[in-house]
Structure 1
């Protein structure tokens, strides 16, 4: 399904969010909108690739990929036919800390869509033949990645940043071990992770609270009450100040760089958001873009962004340039990091960054699926709907001294973990 419901027009976004609590104790955030006859649902459960057994990386990814490959009375082909016939969009995925899913359907097909979602969550076959087929697809992706400079740089960075930690393992598995992933492993992981505890749900569209409540209990109520998660220890990015080079005979070098970041609960977080936009997050206005691309023409793209795993906030960036200019590009990135940490932004940079961040926020809410996704992320981060109204005010309140302090907090001594793939010169 390619159609999307338009955003709900909101003077206050938060006041349109209803908290629905079902008789079975399942909680969801609902935004009713009847502008078009669509219903969009997003959900997330704690426990993703970080929960893979140490010797079986890729298990959560494989599990998520198999949920719609046959369930209940349907084999894989029959399940996909049942979805396609009613133009239902249903999919699942796994990241480091969660397994998630999304559902979009015409309102008239809501009953059937929830039935199919329930089958996928509670009665997926995970049949040996389907496991082998989807596993072979992952193998093909891993083989492509083995010679892809972006994927290689990300892999080298992950392994250097998180040695001896679950975050250092490959989320999609390894060629050396992926063939060992089998149906019993998938069933055991599903039993550990799929539960009502730590389940977060958001729904947007043409559905009322009572109808939604009934569907939620029927769909998610069949899950177990509690999960059984392995404790993931808090960590930081290791190797700050070091460089790892992976030699690949190609004409340009891919650079990945980063350091430990700042959590969303930090009192300076919104100032950090503004500071990062000025440093590397602004697509065509950031200091990195101006210095690396505009002034010197070294790279088509260069950026830095804020990422946050449950147990490690991060500043992550990347660039690609000709081999002969790789050392120079890295030097400019590191110099800008030090300069920005020491001096912070100008008033003009601060003003432009705040205007952009405030003005572009509405773009996160221009379809029903985007709204549902934002609401689930807020729940996973532990925020209330009031965040929707407060966020822009907090950005607007960031002053120059706040942003300077945040730049120092974010970049610190400007020591970066760097990985490079290619034949970089001047490093």
Structure 2
């Protein structure tokens, strides 16, 4: 696989920050107007495609949460003339990897195939996208799998804490509904719901595509029209209103008879498209995103032994963003654990990281970036996500330079916008004795 500028240079110099990125992507537009970001690499006879359509679980019909996830799981359960078993046999016989997934704002998937089987792979992808069968037997099988998962999760403290957290963070908003649905909502989804949702979401005008591997621009243009050209323009998407995290300062308990409480906590964030995202990303690495080096890991686990794991991440949706965190500790130590977390947030907001902490965070984030591009599939997924976010085809080349240029002033500004006054929405699933 071709990687440009893979050798790291002096990490302490913003001007010389390495662009650990795949070979330069080019735009390919098919005869029917479908665009893909393309990285040609003939080293291995493989082709990887990633694609995403605007509109995900936030578009689930009222009372039918889980519908988009069910749709994604049914796209390869029979298509065109092939029933489910026959379709899967077609994939397996040629070692074609095809999968679909759904998130809050998008539904998408990926395809990986040997060049020798590219024609068959593209044909099967086209059928899955444009002509899914939605056979009753397949629907009931997938419904049964989803319901079994939901029943299993009824006593999972991590799932219960996360569901309650998002319900409280986004009340009366699509992001507050569980994307996997509930037992009641999944049970109520009909074939007509799935057909209508498919017609609305699968739009050739709202798809982002990335292709990486041993395929040239002309062949890719033809493949794009075969794979996506039979799709319609889709239906109108429901407006997902802009929102901010609710419930800051609240501590809520999901009562569960377990010896350890699972904790979810969060506060405001900035979206990936926001100019302050990169400073917030570096700040988050210092706070809780840096695995063994983060402040929360050192203070919560290493110094006090309160938890086995603790961390934070930035969550970026189309209509909201948050800084989201997790940990788990003994019921009797929940209050102590939360105090340590909030103290570290306050200290980081008030004083900022040390110059050494900031530099180490930037060194790690720039130096490790190439690890996300070590396979064709990873490159394709990175490119399609960047396209979906509207960050520009040159973002990968610019990204390390943006991180290297982050200053203490940038960090303080990001801290004010995200960590703010330090108030958190906290949900603990268990039986904490002291909150």
Is 1:268 the counterpart of 2:276? The answer is: yes
Match of 1:400 among 405, 408, 428: 408
Match of 1:216 in 2: 224
Is 1:240 the counterpart of 2:234? The answer is: no
Tell me the CA shift for residue 266 of structure 1. Answer: 2.8
Equivalence map 1:18-29=2 (5 Å): 18-29=26-37
Contact between 1:245 and 1:420, CA under 8 Å: does it hold in 2?
yes
Question: Counterparts of 1:165 and 1:125 in 2: how far apart (Å)?
Answer: 31
Q: Give deviations 1:12-57, integer Å, cap 9, x for gaps.
A: 6476211001110000001001111100000000111000012111
Is 1:350 the counterpart of 2:350? The answer is: no
Match of 1:168 in 2: 176
Question: Counterparts of 1:390 and 1:348 in 2: how far apart (Å)?
Answer: 23
Contact between 1:22 and 1:216, CA under 8 Å: does it hold in 2?
yes
What SS does structure 2 have at the residue aligned with 1:317?
strand
Is 1:69 the counterpart of 2:77? The answer is: yes
Tell me the CA shift for residue 327 of structure 1. Answer: 1.2
Contact between 2:283 and 2:415, CA under 8 Å: does it hold in 1?
yes
Equivalence map 1:66-215=2 (5 Å): 66-215=74-223
Contact between 2:3 and 2:22, CA under 8 Å: does it hold in 1?
no
Question: Counterparts of 2:27 and 2:101 in 1: how far apart (Å)?
Answer: 25
Is 1:8 the counterpart of 2:16? The answer is: no
Match of 1:4 in 2: none
Contact between 2:77 and 2:83, CA under 8 Å: does it hold in 1?
yes
Question: Counterparts of 1:259 and 1:54 in 2: how far apart (Å)?
Answer: 27
Question: Counterparts of 2:38 and 2:23 in 1: how far apart (Å)?
Answer: 11
TM-score (norm 1): 0.97
Deviates more, 1:395-404 or 1:358-367: 395-404
Total equivalences in the alignment: 421
Question: Counterparts of 2:412 and 2:166 in 1: how far apart (Å)?
Answer: 29
Q: Give deviations 1:272-302, integer Å, cap 9, x for gaps.
A: 1111100111000111001000000111110
Question: Counterparts of 1:180 and 1:248 in 2: how far apart (Å)?
Answer: 28
Deviates more, 1:9-18 or 1:278-287: 9-18
Deviates more, 1:401-410 or 1:95-104: 401-410
Tell me the CA shift for residue 269 of structure 1. Answer: 2.0
Contact between 1:342 and 1:408, CA under 8 Å: does it hold in 2?
no
Question: Counterparts of 1:57 and 1:265 in 2: how far apart (Å)?
Answer: 27
Aligned-residue CA RMSD in angstroms? 1.1
What SS does structure 2 have at the residue aligned with 1:177?
helix
What SS does structure 2 have at the residue aligned with 1:146?
helix
Match of 2:378 in 1: 370
Question: Counterparts of 2:142 and 2:276 in 1: how far apart (Å)?
Answer: 44
TM-score (norm 2): 0.95
Runs of at least 5 residues in structure 1 that lack an aligned partner in the other structure: 1-6
